[in-house]
Each structure stands twice: as C-alpha cells, then as structure tokens.
Structure 1
Amino acid sequence: MKNGESLSVFVDESSLRNSAHGTLKCIACHTNFSKTQHPVRAFNSKREYTLINTELCKKCHPDASSQYEKSIHYDLFKSGNPQAPHCVDCHGNAHSLARTKPDKTIGLTLCNKCHRELNSSYEASVHNKARLQGKKDAPVCSSCHNAHNIESTKMTTKIKEGCFKCHKDMGKVHNKWLKNPPITLSTFATAHFDVVSCAACHSIEAKRGIYLTLYSRKTGKPVTEEELLKILETDPVGLMKKIDSNADGIIEAREIWDFFSLLYKKGVTSIFMGKMDVGNAAEAHMIGGKAEATKDCVKCHQPGAEFFQDIFITIQKADGKRSLLRAKPGVLNSVYTILPVSKFYALGSTNIKLFDILFIIALIGGIAVPIGHISLRIITLPLRSLRRMGKGGKK
C-alpha cells in the first residue's frame, strides 16, 4: 500500500469453501482477473482497498445495498469519515463469511464497536432484561434502528414506528387511562404520540426537554444548517448571530419570530416543529417497565410545568448531528411564536397570557350582555306594565 501498510493476499481454501460464498467462483467477484490476466493494482491504504471492493457486494445484494445508501452510515462514508461502517465492517471478510441465518443480536457486538457508550444504558433497560430471559421478540439494535437503512434518530420519526412493531394497538391501550374527564376522545393518545417520544415517558429518570426543530413547510423535512448557510449567504458564526441576535446565549420569543420572518423574506416557509424528548441517546435506551412510566398529567399540563422548563431550538446538520440553542421557558407562551410554532400546543402549559386575558374579557362580556338585558327588563317591568294599561309612559 502507498501508505506503507501490508495486505496479505493469502486465502485459506478451507475457510472459503465453508463460507457463505463457498460455491462462488473467484471471477464472480474478481471480474478483472483470469488464469491469463492478473493485473497489478496499487491502493493508498487497506481501508481504500476494502471500500472499493465492497462495491462488488451490490451484484448479489442489491436490496441491502440500496437500503444502505439511504442510511446515515452511508452519508458519513460519503463525507470521508474513516470510521463509517461498510459491508465488511459488519459482515466480515468475504472469504470467510459464515453461513448463518440472520442474527438479530449481531448489533450487540458490532454496533458496540462504535456505539459502546450506549451499551450500559441498554443493559439496564427492560428490553435487555427480556432478552436475557430468552424472549425471542426482545428488541436489540436492529429491531428499532433497522439493519441497513439506519437513519439519524434526530432526522426521522421511524423510532416510534419501531416501538409499534412490538407494542401494537398502543392507541387503544393509552386511551384507557389518557383522559381529560369528563371528555374522552380517541384522538388524545394520537395527539400525544405525534409530539411526545416514547422514551420521554418510558425512560427511567430521563431529563426531558422540548425541542423546537426548524422544518420546511414545503418539503416536510428539517432545514439543515448547511441549507441555512446557503440561503442566508453566511457562515456558522453568522448564522448563530442571526438566530441569537442579542448574543446572550438564550433565544427569546422575539428572536424566533425575527428568524422565522427572515427566512420568509428569503422565500422559505418554515415552521418550528415541537417535540418532547429525552436529553441524550443513553436516556433513550434506558427504557423501564410500564409500571415505571410517567402518567402524571401535571408534569406537562399546568403553568410552569416541570417538563417544559428546558426548551431548545434545534438546527439539524446533514450528518444527523444537531446544534442546540437554549430558549427561555416562556417562549411558548408568547404571541411571537403563534405562527413559528403553530403546530405545538399543550393544554395548560403553552397558554398565551394575552389570549387568556382576551378570552376572560370576552367571557365576561358574553355573560354581561344577557345579564344586563335581563336586569334592564326587570327594572323597566313596572313602566312597561303601566304603558300596556295606558296609565303611564308615552301615549
């Protein structure tokens, strides 16, 4: 290799014949070689050699390859990340690929190569306890994240779909207790599922927060930082100045409106999609039993609610990472966020005080008119009676 590395070209015949590729001829993969042609090739590194040859996997595994090319792993690979996993990183050397059925536990060892910091939180979860008890449907990495088309958890809603693979009819289950007496609607559970992650209620001792992520109304997808830099013709530092205009490190409701308006002037119709979620990936994996889940409505549905104290503006990046900017807790109670955050509302905790005052005034006015009318009729009853008898009033 040009970088000084050495690559052995020895292939153990016994391992190859007993591998999943044992029935293939050499030229099935090594198409440029034959008994008479054996070109000498040069590569910069063993990694480069491996990645070039993994293109051969597409010939027999087009579906898996197509799924992989839609994944966050492939995005990292295209960006030049040397740690981005490709075929052989998970499946091993093509010459000794084991003959095995799909192994759903493969992620417990292979995913941990890059995501080892999440292992302890998964091990503490009810999911791992179920796995250790031998339950065949106990979820592991690929159960929620899929095997090949892995997406950034911050750029997709498919994690919730992963939960529903095993936990079916959750709408009916939650509607048994998720009520607002005396009103009971089947939409209560769905409304929660749309804006609250499963982990937000089911993760043990997680730190919850409200995350307002900038989306395009046109595409329905997050507007990435890279797109914003292009739209606003600025750099990352300049972008932060446009969002946090007073540079105090805390985003106020007026600043949200100003940024929303700025994008509109640039031809971008946007919206901040609100979601309650846990603070980090470790907490997302630390799922407890259903008896430990949060069921206290006042955690969210009252002024100054506990779960509404940490609010963040989220700007996604193309690689799935995100920038978090802390916002003032009261931003959701301001008239400035009515349009920018129009699709996020929590009864009791996102009430707008001005609207509450106007509602009270309207309510008082609505009550005062009929009461005044009735009172006036009572007061003038004697006069109206005399008038009807011709003994008083105008003739």
Structure 2
Amino acid sequence: MKHGTVVAALLLLIIAGMPVRAAEITLSEADNKCLRCHDEEFAQYDGGIHASLRRQGDAEAPACTNCHTTHRERDKPPYNTATGKPCSKCHDEIFDAFAASVHSRVQVSEKDDKDAHVLGCPDCHRAHDVTAAATENQLKDTCLGCHKDVLLVHQKWLPNARLHFEAVSCPACHAPAAQRKVDLRLYDSATQKRIREKEGVPQFENRARAVDVEGKGLNALALQSLLKEFNRDGGEGKTILRGRLEVSTGVESHQLADKSKAIRNCERCHSKGSDPFQSVTISIARPDGRLLRYDAHKEVLNSTVSIDSVGGFYAIGATRIKLLDTLLFFAVIGGITVPIGHMTTKWLVRKYLKRGKGQGGSGQPQNQTPSTPDDRSKPK
C-alpha cells in the first residue's frame, strides 16, 4: 500500500470521528447590531428552533428584527396579547385556535398582582429559546408548570392516573373536538431518551421507505424490520417504541376547552374500534427536536407480530392482541384451577392419612384381639 493511501485513510478516520459543527447563522446587518449588546438573548436564540431553521437554509425563519423593532418601543414588550404578534405573523392558525380556547382568558402572574397579564405564546413557548413543542416531555412539563396538583386531582377519579399521564397527552382529553391518533416513538431502552436523527444523516425516512414495499405505510412485519435496522447501529441500548395518544395537529393542541368539557368517558378510548386507534404513525426526533413521522397501518397495534414491537403500549379494550387475550385467559384459568387442585389434593391426602391412623399403625384390624395359648389349643 502506498504511503499516500495510508495518510488519506487516516485522515478519513480522523474526520469521521470529529463532531459535526452546526452551520453558522446568516443574519442581516440590523440583526448583527443587536448582538453587540444582547449577547445573552442571542445565546438563548441560538439554541432554539428558529436558529436551527436558519441553519437549514430557511431565510424566512425569524431573527431579532422579525420580532423586535428598534428602540422606539423599548419599554414595551414586543408580544401583543390581543393580536398574538409577532408570533401570529407566522403561526396565525395556531393563534386563532389559542384565542378561542380557555387559555386565552387566563390571567397569570409571576410576582404579584401588579404584574398579572393575559396568558400568551411566550408563557408556554418562551421568548428567545423557543424549542420544538414535541421535544422530550416539554409539552407535558409546560402544563404541569402551572397545574402542579393535577396528578392528585386525576387520581381521585381516573384509574392508573400516572400511567395515563405517561401515555396520553393533555390535549387528547382537554381538546374534546380534536382528532386523536397514536404516535409510536423510537426510544433508546438504555438512556430512556428519544432517538434523534444525526445531523446530515437522514436514516429514518430512507429505512422506512425501504421496508415499506408497497408504499402504503408500515405493516407489522415492516415495523419489525425497521426496528432491527436501528438495532444494528449498535447504540447503548435496544431501540424500542413508546406509544403516545395525542391530537393530530398543532392547531388542535391549542383548542383547549374548559375542564368541565374534558373527555371523562373511558369508552371513548377503551372500546373496540375506537377512533383514536384508527390513525398510527411512527416517529423519530430531528436534530432540532421536531418530529419526523411515517404512517403505519392501524393493525400494528393488535397484530401478534407486534408483541415485541409495541408490547409497551396496550389499551384495554382497544388495542386487543388475540394471542395476549388467549394467554391471559389461560393465565386466569390456571390461577383459579391450580389453587383449587392443590387444595383438593391436600384434602384427599389428609383424609387418606386420617383413615390409616384410625385403622392402627401395625396394619392389623382395629377390633382384632391377639390370640392366647388357650385359644390356640381349643378345637375349632
């Protein structure tokens, strides 16, 4: 092997092991002027979704001057609670849904009553470090930030409330008019964190399309093959799926109703053929936290092949896997018959032993008396 080839190979190995640096953000001249004084705010912005979109080449993604004007309005907050601007300039449908929701009428205060204001976009999504709403448990944690005693309240009437909190998003029940679906998310079993696409290496969609032979969504076998592909990557743990019941769109997640209108009927989900389980997606997190989804057949939730894939997501009465039902039936029957059989056998053994003791331990009949020499000499 030539010397140059060896050097080239070593360089490739070194480059492959180097971390990928995020691309620089292209800012306007006015935005660059902001950085001279507001470096702390820009550091927050730099870690958010808007900066990530800019790095990906989206010139329409907001920077400083898209939300802030010059210092003419220095003493006024840039967010307008009545119109939702500047957020509503891009997210108009979402703001309209929010404006019609119960949250738009909520007064919040951080310090005292003097600082009370109507709830707005920054209260949940923050102002500068805006991250994707689907990032880890951000959405649920945001809700619990205000509704601190909500678990205790639900435990008074909802069976397995803690499990529901893990597997069901808040809007799935508190936006009663929304369409619901099941999202099966790729997780690392060792770190218990969502698996993310690597920067510049879009594997998920390519792998999903490769196993989706007919192009009609992933069936149970295709889903199993997809998981095997990810497990070949040699991560810390096994690639698993975690199911979550959620609303179909971001607009619907803002259509929150008064708590008196929240869904409390168990049969809406826990019944055969219920609506939330008719739509299924598989998802992975992009590098910036946004979700990348791929459609799957609804049968993946109740197929025998899916026991290993979606075994951790099982809604009683809705996602019924017949094999599991059969195994459960035999387990129940076994749980009943085994103790009964044990008690019956124990009772029969005791009865037999008691009868043996009653007849004497020597094996002779109980009423038989031992013979004497005189008795033996008497003629019969």
TM-score norm. by structure 1 comes to: 0.72
In structure 1, what is the Cα distance between the partners aligned to 2:191 and 2:32?
A: 32
Paired residues in the alignment total 331
- Alpha-carbon shift at residue 277 of structure 1 (Å): 1.0
CA contact (8 A) 1:91 1:97 kept: no
Letter in 2 for 1:98: E
1:240 aligned residue? 208
Q: Which has the larger radius of gyration?
A: 2
Which of residues 156, 162, 176 is equivalent to 1:190? 162
SS of residue paired to 2:122? helix
Which of residues 69, 72, 75 is equivalent to 1:100? 75
1:170 aligned residue? 150
Letter in 1 for 2:87: C
- Deviates further, 270-279 or 139-148: 270-279
Unaligned residue ranges in structure 1 (runs of 5+): 1-46, 180-187
- Aligned ranges for residues 107-122 of structure 1 at < 5 Å? 108-122=84-98
In structure 1, what is the Cα distance between the partners aligned to 2:272 and 2:141?
A: 31
- Aligned ranges for residues 288-327 of structure 1 at < 5 Å? 288-318=257-287, 322-327=291-296
Structure 1 residues 101 and 228, CA gap change in structure 2 (3 angstroms): closer
2:45 aligned residue? 68
Structure 1 residues 385 and 199, CA gap change in structure 2 (3 angstroms): closer
Deviations 1:268-308 (A, max 9, x none): 33222221111111111111111111111222234444322
Unaligned residue ranges in structure 2 (runs of 5+): 1-24, 108-112, 365-380
Deviations 1:317-374 (A, max 9, x none): 4455544333233323345444444543434434543233223223323432343355
Deviations 1:236-287 (A, max 9, x none): 5x4333342x325132222222211122123133222221111111111111
Letter in 2 for 1:80: G
In structure 2, what is the Cα distance between the partners aligned to 1:317 and 1:206?
A: 25
TM-score norm. by structure 2 comes to: 0.74
SS of residue paired to 2:73? coil
Deviations 1:95-124 (A, max 9, x none): x44221435536702111111222321222
- Aligned ranges for residues 107-146 of structure 1 at < 5 Å? 108-130=84-106, 136-146=116-126
In structure 2, what is the Cα distance between the partners aligned to 1:118 and 1:366?
A: 53
CA contact (8 A) 1:211 1:313 kept: yes
1:213 aligned residue? 185
Which of residues 256, 262, 267 is equivalent to 2:229? 262
- Aligned ranges for residues 266-277 of structure 1 at < 5 Å? 266-268=233-235, 269-277=238-246
SS of residue paired to 2:283? strand
1:253 aligned residue? 220
Deviations 1:168-198 (A, max 9, x none): 311122222223xxxxxxxx33322222211
State the Cα RMSD in Å: 3.4
In structure 2, what is the Cα distance between the partners aligned to 1:219 and 1:384?
A: 59
Alignment partner of 1:82 is 2:50: no
Structure 1 residues 293 and 377, CA gap change in structure 2 (3 angstroms): closer
In structure 1, what is the Cα distance between the partners aligned to 2:141 and 2:313?
A: 21
Indicate the percent of aligned positions where both proteins have the same amino acid.
33
